[in-house]
A and B are shown apart, each in its own frame.
Chain A
């Protein structure tokens, strides 16, 4: 098989702990150096928290695996310093086309709204993302990446968690305040702790083929229901970097996974799909099944589960890696506040509350997609084909065609961290909402987009027409909030002018911030460190803001 990618080998370094009789204690251990574990390590290291990362392997993901990175994950990866590399190397796309038998029934556009920095989706082989994250992790002095290090035992305690680590040079123990389990769908940590993960397995098999070819197909997602070249089943085509194309064939439950992986079985399928004699080479082939399930809670004392270890979905919708990255985005700031003693450990319960809510949404949407794509039973198939037939002529039916509802962030509308609106607002930036991006200009320097100005600590976004008109009383109140136990950094969004006292100012050059956040002069938004809205008001009220900050960090009323 052809290789467009050279797998890096990371050296095993003999850890000093092997030569010490004492068990060393560290603040945080992350188990698993996949996209989610690496993101967790980077998030915490960027908060000046030292992290040891343990991974049983010494290279990146074998095979392209997760290939679709959604807008929200890219925005988070921007904060981790790798978003731009992913976008540059990957294939951006917004258009999806859907075919039924031999006809196109409709197409959709993921980002129908202009003026967002990141595209709806970028396709990139998972090994590239991991490579970029590893390079980024290596730039951060407080990340200790340990390869060929398998966790073979875990002992949770009241004050610490101890793990036993096996390496090629022997085994050692390491203890930590917090253990982050990012060790994948089969999570050995979850198993060793005897924790359940509940859900259902889908009785179907899918073949993934990564094919290298020169093709002039546009960068779009193509989905076929019941195509002439693969009757009765579904097929999905995606373009990745390096002229690698991902083709996904539904095989049915009775298919023999070993047989189906053989090139003499795979190549005719692809030949039939391409319908011509163009040259291609196989790079990677895999047959998979999937489950939709999640743990009841994601935090168990000092052990925190993230990504596939905590929840799994069907691949339709790219809700796996994308939701794992959002887990970490949600967890990082909460863990920091708890570790600093600024918030009670109960704040971590809200990690579980918010992310199990998101996991349920992901499971619900990907299950619905799966039921549409692979209908079980004659009635389901009749309805599915009726929808596809009507979709050719009628817009309403196009809305029902479900070939995967692609990963979008959850609105944590029920979160206890939200302060309910007391004032009237239009639009969707409700408490709990993930921030919408918008173009800005930053006279003080920095990104010409809104989102990169948020994301480390809490921020107060104050809307004005002229930033210079910020009154002295408000400026004084903002200065006090900046000095609080949990500081909230002010940022003024205005049409023009510079805020007094060196307060960061953004200019709403296209009016999109005003439009998307329903801003009026005086409007204030309290934004969480993960770029979700915590609270908002029509006028500046320091007492209300302090209460909202306490609420967003579970400090009690």
Chain B
């Protein structure tokens, strides 16, 4: 399986009429997850979130590909 890089956010239980709504709802929840946390707590929440999502994806080849893409540009290489 290839990593899906197309926009893939959706809210199955809500009828939405504009494409950006599901992605924006996710983003809001993501930022909200960090409310009132200090930096260390935030980093921990991010780490836990990555682990939860990684397990859900499961396919390690795919996760390696995501890790590679995530590092791209950040390390300058």
Contacts and interface: CB of A to CB of B under 8 A. Distances in A.
Contacts of A389: 73-74
B interface residue count range (under 10 / 10 to 19 / 20 to 34 / 35 or more): 20 to 34
A405 interface: yes
A379 B42 contact: yes
Interface string A488-512: 0000000000000000000000000
Contact of A371 (B31, B46, B74): B31
A402 B24 contact: yes
B28 A399 contact: no
Given A399-B9, A413-B15, A368 B4 contact: no
A170 interface: no
Interface stretch (A21-29, A147-155, A390-398): A390-398
Contact of B6 (A387, A390, A395): A395
Interface in B1-35: 4-9, 15, 17-20, 23-24, 27-28, 30-31, 34
B59 interface: no
B27 A402 contact: yes
B7 A371 contact: no
Interface in A371-404: 371-372, 375, 377-380, 383, 387, 389-390, 392-396, 398-400, 402
A411 B18 CA distance: 10
Contacts of A411: 17
B23 to A, nearest CB: 5
A371 B25 CA distance: 12
B8 A396 contact: yes
B19 A380 contact: no
Interface residues of A, number: 29
Contact of A394 (B5, B31, B46): B5
Nearest to A390: B69
Contact of A396 (B6, B30, B37, B42): B6
A365 B23 CA distance: 12
A400 B23 contact: yes
Contacts of B28: 368, 371
Contacts of B15: 413, 430
A270 to B, nearest CB: 31
A380 B7 contact: no
A371 B30 CA distance: 12
A430 B15 CA distance: 11
Given A378-B39, A380-B34, A402-B20, A396 B27 contact: no
Given A377-B34, A383-B31, A395 B7 contact: yes
Nearest to B73: A389
A91 interface: no
A428 interface: yes
B27 A372 contact: yes
Nearest to B25: A368
15 contacts: A377-B34, A379-B37, A379-B39, A383-B27, A389-B74, A390-B69, A393-B69, A394-B69, A396-B7, A396-B8, A399-B9, A399-B19, A399-B20, A405-B24, A413-B15
Interface of A: 365, 368, 371-372, 375, 377-380, 383, 387, 389-390, 392-396, 398-400, 402, 405, 408, 411, 413, 428, 430, 433
